[in-house]
Structures are given as C-alpha cells and as structure tokens.
C-alpha cells in the first residue's frame, strides 16, 4: 500500500511540474520556463513597448484569429495583464474558450521588441492551432496542445505571416541590421520582395526571443550561424534551449509552404516543410523534433519526453 501511495504521489508531482504543463494550464511555466523575474508597470528598466503597443498587438491577433476559432466552435480570447510584471505568457483551455494570457512584464523586458511580442502571441496561439506533434504524457493531460517546438514553428510558419501580411515589410526590415545569412536563406526560399522581407522580419523576432531566453538562463546570445547540434532520440515536448528555439523560428520563416495550408492534429508532415517528404529548407530542427513514421507513430502516452544525444 505504501508503495502504491508513493507511486501515485510521484505521478501527481510530475503532472504538476513545468515539464508536463509547459506553456499551458497553470501559467507558472509559460512561453519561458519557470522564472522569478518581475518587471512592474512603473519600472524604468522597460523595453520599447508601451501599453498601447501591448494592447494593439493583442487586438490585431484577436481580429485575425477569432473567426478561425469560431469555425471550430470555440472562442479565442487574449487576456491582457499589462500591470502584472510576470515575464511570461501562457495558453489555456477553459471550456469552449481558447485563452492566452499576456503579461506586461514580458512586454517590458529590455530585449523585447514589438515583433518579438507578437511572435509570443503567435506561439501561444500555436498551442491551440499548431497541430502535431502534440503534448504527450502519462494521463493525456494537455493532449489538446501542440508541444513547445511546434508552437514556435507555427509562430513563423503560419501566424506571423498572417499578422504581418498587410504591413510594408520591406520598409520595416530596411531599418533593421539583417545578417547576411538570414537574407540568403530568405532569398533562397522566396522570390517576392514582401515575402523575403517577412521572412527576415520573422527571423529577427525569433532572435530577440532567443536572446531573451539566453539572458534569463545566463547564457550566451543565440547565433544564426551556429545551430544547436543536439539531436533528440524521442520527441521533446518541453521548452527547447534558446539556440534550438531560434533554429525553429528560422525554419518556420524559410519554409515556403503556404500559410493557408491546413495543419493536422495527427500528422506533422501535413502543411509543413518536412524532411519525411524530402524537404530540406524549412524543416524542424532535430534538437527537439523526431521525424514522423506513419507506420509507427509515437505513443500519445509516452512521457517524460526528450532525451538528448550529441552529434
């Protein structure tokens, strides 16, 4: 009896951990892993985003995605918490409402940009709409949610393109210092000026987020020319490392598949650039993604996920 009780309590503890919950449900582990940073609204150490920038980005996302969720019989709701200094964001399902919580502390982080903030909204939206691979765990908790890497991939593959499609992206990126390697990859993927610029813009937003995470972990900045060399032997559902996340944002940005192609909740090769289909550019990095075998799909009850090996 004592052994059974111990096993039950151990399982319960694991299910309440950030690894199991990741970006969902409790908000402790959100877009970033659990952290104790807090940047209040009256802080003078804030970044470039004002409260109106914060609100306008949320309004833009709701205008675009509310009709999409409505076709699924769901309500899309982004809950603004400007005065809350929490440096995070998270997604949650509440009945038929798909919620996203965005905190002012995140917007006020010194490394945050307007584009990076909107990419966070896209990431959280991706937990609801990003398709496979989904979060897997012992009791199928949060099985509705796309895992962390897939939410990152969705952010630049689908959402940023939708959010920024009417912007003059060429004019916007003209004011940025775009690394040559990013320009070359975007020009290889696209031949329309606005699409190339949107690709560059997405990559730079991903860089800001990767560097924010690296700073929070007291690590070095991410580098477009030094992709994460790690390779998982099982799908990694939790937060990838900062460089791995940048690699994923870049992959989504340079994937030439249409933003309008539907994604699948069971097959991650549909609507994406997939090495399984022979694609080379824009495929998800192996630092979190394991290529999908349709004849032997991964178990939805496999947890914990992700074991790293090095090349």
DSSP state letter for 103 = E
Low-confidence ranges of the chain (pLDDT < 50): 1-22, 24-27, 300-311
β pairing state of 97-103 and 75-81: parallel
Measuring CA to CA, which residue among 100, 118, 123, 122 is closest to residue 25?
Answer: 100
Tokens 């003059």 belong to which residue? 168
CB 63 within 8 A of CB 121: no
Q: What is the pLDDT of residue 143?
A: 83
CA distance 18 to 34: 7
Contacts of 72 (CB under 8 A, 6+ apart): none
β pairing state of 308-310 and 230-232: antiparallel
pTM (predicted TM-score) = 0.88
Q: What is the pLDDT of residue 219?
A: 86
CB 154 within 8 A of CB 146: yes
Q: What is the CA radius of gyration of the chain?
A: 19
CA distance 238 to 202: 22
Measuring CA to CA, which residue among 199, 156, 158 is closest to residue 181?
Answer: 199
Q: Write out the two tokens for 241.
A: 């490392």
DSSP state letter for 298 = P
């Amino acid at each position: 009896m004592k052994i059974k009780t111990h096993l039950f309590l151990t399982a319960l503890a694991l299910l309440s951990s950030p690894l199991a919950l990741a970006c969902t449900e409790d908000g402790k582990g959100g877009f970033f892993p659990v952290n104790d940073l807090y940047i209040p609204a009256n802080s003078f150490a804030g970044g470039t985003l004002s409260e109106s920038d914060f609100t306008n980005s949320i309004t833009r996302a709701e205008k675009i995605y509310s009709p999409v969720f409505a076709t699924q019989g769901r309500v899309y709701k982004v809950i603004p918490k400007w005065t809350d200094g929490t440096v995070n964001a998270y997604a949650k399902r509440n009945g038929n409402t798909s919620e996203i919580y965005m905190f002012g502390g995140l917007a006020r982080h010194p490394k945050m940009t307007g584009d990076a903030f909107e990419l966070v909204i896209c990431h959280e939206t991706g937990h609801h709409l990003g398709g496979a691979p989904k979060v897997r765990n012992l009791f199928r908790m949060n099985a509705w949610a796309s895992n962390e890497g897939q939410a990152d991939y969705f952010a630049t593959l689908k959402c940023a393109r939708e959010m920024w499609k009417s912007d003059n992206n060429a004019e916007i990126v003209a004011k940025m210092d775009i690394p040559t390697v990013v320009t070359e990859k975007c020009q290889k993927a696209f031949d329309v000026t606005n699409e190339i610029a949107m690709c560059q813009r997405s990559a730079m937003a991903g860089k800001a987020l990767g560097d924010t995470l690296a700073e929070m972990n007291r690590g070095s900045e991410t580098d477009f020319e030094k992709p994460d060399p790690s390779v998982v032997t099982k799908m990694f559902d939790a937060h990838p490392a900062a460089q791995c996340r940048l690699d994923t944002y870049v992959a989504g940005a340079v994937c030439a598949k249409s933003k309008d192609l539907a994604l699948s909740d069971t097959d991650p090769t549909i609507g994406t650039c997939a090495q399984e289909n022979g694609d080379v550019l824009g495929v998800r990095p192996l630092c979190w993604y394991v290529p999908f075998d349709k004849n032997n799909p991964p178990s939805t009850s496999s947890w914990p996920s992700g074991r790293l090996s090095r090349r």
